[in-house]
Every structure is written in structure tokens, then in C-alpha cells.
């Protein structure tokens, strides 16, 4: 039985992970910690129907919030480790629909608005969260940390020409995708 913590679990891919794990047998998944800044109705409903789903207040940009969340999870695990940490919380301030317009694309790339918040959440948040939860992960059987990265988790994909075309040639692994 594996235990999971998913950050950014209030919507999108994070909420989908929580739902998928809740659909698995309790012999496979023992605890599902849904980390998010607020306990949204979808998580409340899941935790009512499945006691394995437990909301954990977690703001990945706030080191104190992360420490409190790690202490809460450690207490609930009762001496066992956290098998899988899924760093999923992320932000993207670009309107992906507008990115297909070459004129708007140039303006967005020049301005880079929201870059500080994106760095705080998407880079430092992952580092802070992993650092705090790593002792629990190291105590577990599976010992897995999964980092989800995407600029389009809730939007249509960016045009390939923007992702690869002008920025860099695709690597061998990107060509295989």
C-alpha cells in the first residue's frame, strides 16, 4: 500500500491524480494527501466518499506552510514514510490561445509578465517542497519524487514552433515523442 502527496491538487492535473488514485484499491493506495492552498468542493466531496483522501493546506511558495504540511502528513502517516511525492503545483501567466498569433506572441515574449511568480512557484516551490518532504520519502518503501512540468497543463498545447522551432533544436528524446 503506497502513500501519495500531490501538490496543486485543487484543480486540473493534480485533481485528476487524486481522483485516479482514489479509484484504485486500498490494497494499492493507502493514503492520498491532496495538497492545495484551499479545500475546494471537489476535494471535500472526494474526502467524504473516500477516507484515504485527506486535504493538506499547502502553499508551495510559503516555507512555513510547507513545514506545517510536512508535519501534518508525518503525523497522519504514524511513523511510516511517504512513498510518492508528486510536485504538480504550477502557474503560467500566458494566454495560450493568443500564443498562436505571431504579433501577440512577440509582445508576450518581450514583456515576460508574471515571471517572478512563475519562478517562485514552478522552481523554488518544487525545491522547498521536496526539501521538506524528502525525509518522509526516504523513510518509505518506494522513495519516489515526481516533478510535473508543463506550460499547457490547463490549456491547448503551445505551438511546436514556439516550444522548439526558434529556441532550440529538438533533442533525440523529444523527436521520439
**pLDDT surpasses 50 at 107:** yes
Q: Characterize the bridge pairing of strands 2-6 and 53-57.
A: unpaired
pLDDT of residue 112: 62
The fold of 2-176 is Rossmann fold (3.40.50)
**How far, CA to CA in Å, does 115 sit from each of 93, 106, 111, 165, 168?**
8, 16, 9, 22, 20
pLDDT of residue 94: 62
**How far, CA to CA in Å, does 113 sit from each of 5, 46, 139, 142, 165?**
30, 35, 40, 39, 22
**pLDDT surpasses 90 at 117:** no
Locate the domains of the chain by residue range: 2-176
pLDDT of residue 24: 94
Helix H or strand E encompassing 27: none
DSSP-based three-state secondary structure for 101: coil
**pLDDT surpasses 80 at 49:** yes
* Model confidence pLDDT, tens digit, residues 148-171: 876 544 444 444 444 433 333 444
The pLDDT-based confidence of 108 (bands split at 50, 70, 90) is: low
Amino acid at each position: 500500500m503506497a502513500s501519495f502527496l500531490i501538490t496543486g491538487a485543487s484543480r486540473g492535473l493534480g485533481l485528476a491524480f487524486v481522483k485516479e488514485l482514489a479509484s484504485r484499491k486500498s490494497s494499492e493506495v493507502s493514503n492520498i494527501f491532496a495538497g492545495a492552498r484551499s479545500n475546494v468542493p471537489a476535494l471535500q466531496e472526494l474526502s467524504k466518499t473516500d477516507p484515504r483522501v485527506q486535504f493538506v493546506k499547502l502553499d508551495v511558495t510559503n516555507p512555513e506552510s510547507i513545514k506545517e504540511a510536512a508535519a501534518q502528513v508525518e503525523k497522519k502517516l504514524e511513523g511510516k514514510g511517504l512513498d510518492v511525492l508528486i510536485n504538480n503545483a504550477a502557474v503560467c501567466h500566458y494566454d495560450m490561445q493568443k500564443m498562436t498569433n505571431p504579433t501577440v506572441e512577440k509582445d508576450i515574449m518581450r514583456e515576460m509578465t508574471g515571471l517572478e511568480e512563475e519562478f517562485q512557484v514552478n522552481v523554488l516551490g518544487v525545491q522547498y517542497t521536496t526539501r521538506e518532504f524528502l525525509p518522509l520519502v526516504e523513510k518509505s518503501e518506494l522513495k519516489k519524487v515526481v516533478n510535473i512540468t508543463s506550460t499547457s497543463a490547463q490549456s491547448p498545447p503551445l505551438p511546436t514552433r514556439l516550444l522548439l522551432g526558434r529556441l532550440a533544436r529538438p533533442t533525440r528524446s523529444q523527436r521520439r515523442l
